[in-house]
Chain A
Amino acid sequence: MLALFVIVPLVAAALLSLALGKKPKAIRWVALSASILSLVIAIYVAMGPQGVSRLDWFSIAGYSFGISIATNPLNAFLLLIVAGITPLIFAYSIGYLDTLSEQSRFYTEMCIFAAAMMLFAISGNFITMFIAWEMLGITSYLLIGFWYWREKAPVAARKAITTILIGDIMMLMGMLLIWSTYHTFEFAALATVADSQALQVAMILITLAAFTKSAQFPFHEWLADAMEGPTPVSAFLHSSTMVKAGVFLIAVLLPVIVAVHLQWLLIIVGIVTALIGATNAIAERHIKRILAYSTMEDMGLMFVALGFNAIYAAMLLFLVQAFYKALLFMDAGSIMRINTDKEDIYNVYESGARKGVLISALIGSASLAGIFPLSGFFGKAAVESVASNAVIYALLLLVEILSSFYIFRWLIIPSRKAPLEEDREIVVNAKTMSKWMAAPAYILAIAVVASSLAYLYLPRYLLGLTYPVISITGSIVDTVVVLMGALAAYYVYAKGNRSYLSSTHPTFHKIMLNSMAVNAVYVYITKAVSLAASAVGSIDYAFDKSIYALSSMFVKIGDVLKKMETGQTNTYVAAFIIGFVILLLAVVL
Chain B
Amino acid sequence: MIMMIDENMLQYALFLAQGLLVASGIFSVMHKNKKAQFAISTILLVAIALTASSLFASDSSIVPFSAFRISQFSMFFISLFSILLVLVNIISYEYSQDYISFSALFGFTIAGMYVVTMANSLISVFLGIELMALPTAFMIMINGKQGIESAVKLFVMAATAIAAFSFALALVFPFNAQLSLTALHIGSGQGNYLVLLAVVLFVISLAFEASLFPFNLWVPDVYQGAQGNITAMMSGINKKVAFVAIMEVFFIALVPLSSVFSQLFIALAIATMFYGNIVALVQDNVKRLFAYSSISQAGYIMIGIAVATQYGIEASIFQIVAHALAIIAIFAVILWLEENNIKSLKDYTALSRRNGFAAFTLTILMLSLIGIPPLIGFVGKFLLFTSAIYSNLLFLAAIGIFNSFISVYYYAKVIMAMYSKKEEVRSLRMGWSVSAVSVISVIAVLVLGLVPQFLIAAASQASAALLAI
Contacts and interface: CB of A to CB of B under 8 A. Distances in A.
Q: Within the complex, are A and B direct neighbours (CB within 8 Å)?
A: yes
B215 A587 contact: no
B218 A587 contact: no
A547 interface: no
Name the interface size band of chain B: 35 or more
A51 interface: no
Given A555-B282, A576-B208, A587 B217 contact: no
Contact of B217 (A555, A558, A559, A571): A571
Q: Number of contact residues on A: which range applies?
A: 20 to 34
Interface in A537-589: 554-555, 557-559, 561-562, 564-565, 567, 569, 571-573, 575-576, 578-580, 583-584, 586-588
B156 A580 contact: no
B264 A575 contact: no
Interface string B208-245: 10000111011011000000000000000000000000
A554 B278 contact: yes
B46 interface: no
Contacts of A572: 153, 157, 217-218
B127 to A, nearest CB: 22
Interface in B274-321: 275, 278-282
Interface in B189-217: 193, 196-197, 199-201, 203-204, 207-208, 213-215, 217
Contacts of B161: 576
B317 to A, nearest CB: 25
A587 B268 CA distance: 13
Given A569-B152, A587-B260, A559 B215 contact: no
Given A571-B217, A588-B196, A583 B264 contact: yes
**Dominant SS at the A interface?**
helix
A338 to B, nearest CB: 64
Nearest to B221: A567
A579 B161 CA distance: 12
B178 interface: no
A559 B284 CA distance: 12
B406 interface: yes
Nearest to B204: A580
A586 B279 CA distance: 25
B152 A579 contact: no
B453 interface: no
A566 to B, nearest CB: 9
A564 B157 CA distance: 16
B275 A583 contact: no
B220 A557 contact: no
A586 B263 contact: yes
Contacts of B217: 564-565, 571-572, 575-576
B264 A579 contact: no
B281 A576 contact: no
A564 B279 CA distance: 10
B218 A569 contact: yes
B278 A579 contact: no
A561 B278 contact: yes
Contacts of B201: 580
Contacts of A575: 214-215, 217
Interface string B59-89: 0000000000000000000000000000000
A576 B164 CA distance: 11
A588 B201 CA distance: 13
B381 to A, nearest CB: 20
Residue picked from B156, B213, B217, B260, most chain A C-beta under 10 Å: B217
Given A576-B214, A587-B260, A555 B281 contact: yes
Contacts of A554: 278, 281, 406, 409
Nearest to B261: A587
B391 interface: no
Given A558-B278, A579-B214, A565 B157 contact: no
8 contacts: A555-B281, A561-B278, A562-B279, A572-B218, A575-B214, A578-B214, A579-B214, A587-B200
Closest 6 CB pairs of A and B: A558-B282, A579-B214, A572-B217, A558-B281, A575-B214, A558-B278
Given A565-B221, A583-B200, 6 more contacts: A554-B409, A565-B217, A565-B220, A576-B161, A580-B201, A583-B264
